[in-house]
Chains A and B, each alone.
Chain A
Amino acid sequence: MTALESTSPSLAATSPAFTFSASTFQKLHPTEFFRKFASQGVRPDGRLLNAFRPTTVHYGVITTANGSAMVRIGGTTVVCGVKAEVAEPKLHTPDHGYFVPNVDLSPICSGAFRPGPPSAQAQVVSESIDRVLKESKVLDLKDLCIEEGKAVWALWVDVVCVSYDGNIYDAALTAVMAALANVRIRKPTYDEGVVKVSGAEDMNDDNSFKLKLARTPLSATFALFDTSLTVLADPNDSEESICDGSISVTLDEHGQLCAVSKVGAGSSSQSLLKQCIDRTRERATELRAIMSQQQQ
């Protein structure tokens, strides 16, 4: 708040008739309010422009699911559950299982969302996660085959947002990857058209298996503020609402890129993108440390 207080006397001096408190100013002119902070290199919540919010990852939060995880990035909380179901394979891929990621942004997480069919934003996030997992071949779908042409595993990967405060893509992707790493499925037996999955005893390495993940893509999102394209790492809800564009970079653990997207705002130079990729490398390393710390 120090940045604003230092500027408010000059504001009062130029227009004494229109003085109001900082919170009123924020409501009336959110962009101008933010610009005053950004020009000083900080953000209203006290972070530096390239700082991410504190992040936590918890595994196995839903005991009835095959794998689950809860991820918090600042005020954004998402829970991801993976349920494995025996299903018939698709006709053109008889030996491939399949997974269906779905992101749910219900009114429970923010007043901005309406009940009913999934909003455009939820669909766009689901689609990006689906594309990252498929195009960078995270899972070998043949691992999910039980009996060719007869039965495969279908993984329902459901992400529910519990509290929405911006940057849903990073939170959702981290939750999906953590939940997939947490998955344990009972080994099935196939016998003359009947798939049997025992359910009584506790799961151990003999009667169940874990998913083999070829890589773990993790992402970092940056919002682009103003025509000057000031880069804001990990934007929260109020920052997202005043920014026109964003850059998302997704990296795997070997430093290979899995996805890069730049949407909205004006044209940005390639050096800006390079800068974002470099920052993502640092962030992904931090995030992987958080994830592996929790796993033990």
Chain B
Amino acid sequence: MSRLDRTRTSAHQLRPFFSSQNLLNRADGSAQFDFGGSSVLCSVVGPAEVKIRQEKLDKATIEVIARPLVGLPGVADKARERSIQETLEPLILSSLHPRTLVQIVVQTMKDDGCILSTAFNATILALLDAGIPLQSILGSVTCMIDSETNEILLDPTTEELARSKSTHVFVFDNKTSIAGSANKDQAKDQDQDQDSLEGAILYSDSTGIFTENEYFECAHAGFKAAQAVHGFIRTAVQKKLEKEYQQTQA
């Protein structure tokens, strides 16, 4: 049962979250999100003027730029940009700001595994901070299957990832989870039915060698953990708004 990451006792335990919004002066919105030793800073500028080449007549153009911890962006960063961009496109109500640009810059600050998940969570906080209209909120969690114990580990560190048989990144939006939590009281004994209903997957990226069952088990574990992330994002926004309200009163 013990993990390589000594700070955690159970396989399904996530590292402590940390977030901070409105860090950057000149961006319209910004946020930092940490999963333990992994940290990503994200800035959002928009709606802003768009280059004619990128202009879309009926909606806003969404551009994502991913910057690595050190050196110049490589092919892996391009793939990360694409993932974030294509996931956000249906989420952002981009038809409200046609012919504009929403530019999102994702900068890795510390890397200890699960950077894509951290980046997703930082991005959504930054979008909320910038006041970009959104359809729903996303929450992302990474999990892996240990090659020695065949156990599903959530939110693995770099050290743990070195021993992985397969890694899975999941993103869930909060629409399906709201429906789930509202019915929770009436439908406690219908848990089995809910298992099949819950966890509509917004983004999924898995590599390694794994079976179909393992994949859906990971999706299930990821979905449960994503609820914690959603809860955290909610609290973070609530705290920020309370603070802003107090400042306007003072």
Contacts and interface: CB of A to CB of B under 8 A. Distances in A.
The answer on A and B forming one complex is yes
Interface of A: 120, 123-124, 126-128, 130-132, 135-137, 215, 244-245, 252, 256-271, 273-274, 277
Nearest to A132: B207
A264 B211 CA distance: 24
Contact of A273 (B81, B201, B208): B201
Given A135-B209, A256-B211, A267-B200, 19 more contacts: A120-B81, A124-B78, A128-B79, A132-B207, A215-B209, A244-B86, A245-B90, A256-B209, A259-B206, A260-B205, A261-B205, A262-B205, A263-B83, A264-B90, A267-B201, A268-B200, A269-B201, A270-B199, A270-B201
Given A123-B78, A265-B90, A135 B202 contact: no
20 contacts: A120-B82, A124-B78, A126-B75, A127-B76, A127-B79, A130-B75, A131-B207, A132-B207, A135-B167, A257-B206, A257-B209, A258-B207, A263-B83, A263-B87, A264-B86, A266-B202, A267-B173, A267-B202, A270-B199, A270-B216
A22 B211 CA distance: 45
Interface residues of B, number: 35
Nearest to B210: A257
B176 A267 contact: yes
A287 to B, nearest CB: 19
Contacts of A123: 75, 78-79
Interface in B161-191: 166-167, 172-173, 175-176
Nearest to A260: B206
A136 B210 CA distance: 9
B204 interface: yes
A263 B211 contact: no
Contact of B207 (A135, A245, A263, A273): A135
A177 to B, nearest CB: 15
Given A124-B79, A127-B76, A135-B207, A260 B202 contact: no
Interface of B: 75-76, 78-79, 81-83, 86-87, 89-90, 166-167, 172-173, 175-176, 196, 199-212, 215-216, 219
B201 A268 contact: yes
Given A245-B86, A264-B89, A135 B166 contact: yes
A120 B78 contact: yes
Main secondary structure, interface of A, reads: mixed
B85 to A, nearest CB: 9
Given A123-B79, A127-B78, A244-B89, A267 B175 contact: yes
B209 A261 contact: no
Contacts of B83: 263
A126 B176 CA distance: 34
Contacts of A277: 212
A267 B212 contact: no
Nearest to B200: A267
Nearest to A245: B86
Contacts of A120: 78, 81-82
Contacts of A127: 75-76, 78-79
B90 A266 contact: yes
A261 B173 contact: no
Nearest to B82: A124
Which 5 A-B pairs have CB atoms at the shortest separation, nearest pair first?
Answer: A267-B200, A264-B86, A135-B207, A127-B79, A262-B204
